[in-house]
Structure 1
Amino acid sequence: MNKSDALRDKVIAVTGGARGIGFETATQLFDAKAKVVIGDIDGDAVGKAAADLGIDGIELDVTKPESIEAFLDETEKRVGPIDVLVNNAGIMPVGPFLDYDAALIRRTIDIDLMGVIYGSQAAARRMVPRGHGHIVNVASVAGRLPMPGLTVYNAAKAGVIEFSDALHAELADAGVSVSAILPSFTNTGLISGLETNRYIRVVEPEVVAETIVDTIVKPQVRVAAPRSMGWVNSNTIMPQSLKRRSRKMTGLDHIFLQYDDSSRAEYNKRIGQ
């Protein structure tokens, strides 16, 4: 079965859909004949992105359960009962933990973790009575690779991975699948101003989006993007001494502590850092 046969007329909502991974995912789903609706906190950007694709776009704040409910209500009103929710919205602050203010810490957890939890609950409450559905949560390899300068993001994404695993175990018998996608560092605004190297695998949004689409077609509980990054799941059992040596060798001991302020300024302003 090709993707169009599997996804034709499926109602799929994507959060954080105005740019980056979310927009590319919506594009690939639309090309596969799904009925796609995107949500994003940037009303102007989501309107333009939706117009570019010829789909519906709705302003959405994933930190507010009532906004998520309204987003899903409007999605179902416009295109039908939701089959798949892709919880993609997220931010990635970097820098020394001691420099983070309380508002940035809270905002990161609210968007990257609580937004996923709120979205999953709202979608599952619709899916379980129908006996089918799929929730796809975009986590990160950072949820398995703790790194200096990425502490709060690490915490949020690790939470998404384990939450997704637990929720799948709880809902599978009701016909609802839950998947966690673990992208490698992706060429979007999240990595602006960061100096990568040959050890740091950076992929294009198209690669991550393709993995998300493939996972919707054939659900799995946990998938790295690209799949060759699946080794990160074994990092949790590595000795600390080996982790330290690995971080030093690859530059992951400093890459998120030292970045170009000017190159990252626009992204930092957008996320409130």
Structure 2
Amino acid sequence: MDIKGITALITGASRGIGRAIAWELARNGARRLLLVARDRQKLAELAAELTAMDVEVVTLALDLRKPAEVNMAIVRAWRSYGPIDLLINCAGVAHQTPFLQSKLPDVQEELSLNLMGLYTVTRAVARRMATQKRGTIVNVSSVMGKIAAPTMSTYSATKFAILGFTQALRGELADHNIRVMALLPTLTDTDMTRGLKLFRWVVPMTPEQVAQELLLGLRKDSAEIVVGWQSHLAILCSRIAPGLLDKVLKMASPLSGKSDKSPAWRRAGGF
């Protein structure tokens, strides 16, 4: 995919990986960025920073858990700014806790944003992409969409689901000339995760590194963009030595040793 001159919509754009992706697209010649997040102030700050770049920036302060508002915003944006060439679903939330201590409201929040929010935006945009017979959709999953780990059961479940959703859409939308891809980052050093030692031996990547890998994958039209050597190694190990991987995950988990009470944490496109 050629980035120059495109219009891209990015959810979860106010921080973390979503913010880094906005910058990377701007640097590589995107013509217009539609930035979506709940935090109106952070969106405005990012838009102000991007004014030095040769890119038009439109901010959409939206709660993706409200389908009616999302659908209306997409309709207005399409009419006002023209077709969307690239959709990047980066918004997400994660709660880390041992399963037996998990709370239903936290699980419902993960499901409503990570899955239903992604579904709502994708449906609104994909239907219009199908009419114009072109477009690219990137769904941000996680390495935990391939390998579930202790204390991250429900978050991992949503990320596994995103991969299944992506694979199904890839087949369904191909006849409409719409490419559907998945981005699988490893632990990423964002403002929401910085200072937390969630899993032993994992070296965080930067949001900028993840964004750069995304652009490489877009240029290659990769179906899945797995970010970081640790992710590649873990996925390979899960295929050839799943028992060994289970033991490593148990040793690395915050549940082992003294770390039996892990803090809840949240992020927008980070892990």
TM range (shorter): 0.7 to 0.9
Aligned pairs, number: 261
Residues 1:43 and 2:45 aligned together: no
Contact 1:145 1:235 in 2 (8 A): no
Which structure is higher in RCO with an 8 Å CA cutoff and minimum separation 6?
2
Task: Provide Cα deviations, 1:51-88, integer angstroms capped at 9, x if missing partner.
Answer: 22132111011122223223323432443210111000
Which 10-residue stretch deviates more, 211-220 or 107-116? 211-220
Task: Report the Cα offset of residue 232 of structure 1.
Answer: 4.1
Contact 1:182 1:225 in 2 (8 A): yes
Residues 1:13 and 2:43 aligned together: no
Residues 1:226 and 2:223 aligned together: no
Which 10-residue stretch deviates more, 240-249 or 190-199? 190-199
- Aligned equivalents of 1:163, 1:206: Cα separation in 2: 26
Question: In the alignment, which residue of structure 2 is the partner of 1:178?
Answer: 180
Which 10-residue stretch deviates more, 121-130 or 70-79? 70-79
Question: In the alignment, which residue of structure 2 is the partner of 1:109?
Answer: 111
- Aligned equivalents of 2:98, 2:164: Cα separation in 1: 25
Q: Find the residue that maps to 1:161 and give its secondary structure.
A: helix
Residues 1:65 and 2:67 aligned together: yes
Contact 1:223 1:230 in 2 (8 A): no
Residues 1:25 and 2:21 aligned together: yes
Change in 2 beyond 3 A, CA 1:75/1:226: farther
Contact 1:147 1:253 in 2 (8 A): no
Task: Report the Cα offset of residue 108 of structure 1.
Answer: 0.6
Q: How does 1:24-173 map to 2 (within 5 A)?
A: 24-34=20-30, 35-54=32-51, 55-173=57-175
Q: Find the residue that maps to 2:33 and give its secondary structure.
A: strand
Question: In the alignment, which residue of structure 1 is the partner of 2:54?
Answer: none
- Bigger fraction of residues in helix: 1
User: What is the CA RMSD across the aligned residues, in angstroms?
Assistant: 2.6
Contact 1:36 1:56 in 2 (8 A): yes
TM-score (norm. length: structure 1): 0.85
- Aligned equivalents of 1:73, 1:188: Cα separation in 2: 32
Task: Report the Cα offset of residue 163 of structure 1.
Answer: 0.9
TM-score (norm. length: structure 2): 0.86
Q: Percent identity?
A: 28
- Aligned equivalents of 1:190, 1:99: Cα separation in 2: 22
Contact 1:13 1:75 in 2 (8 A): no
Matched residue type, 1:22: G
- Aligned equivalents of 2:79, 2:215: Cα separation in 1: 24
| Aligned counterpart for 1:202 among listed residues 181, 201, 204 | 204
Which stretches of structure 1, 4 residues or more, deviate above 6 A after TM superposition? none
Change in 2 beyond 3 A, CA 1:98/1:186: same
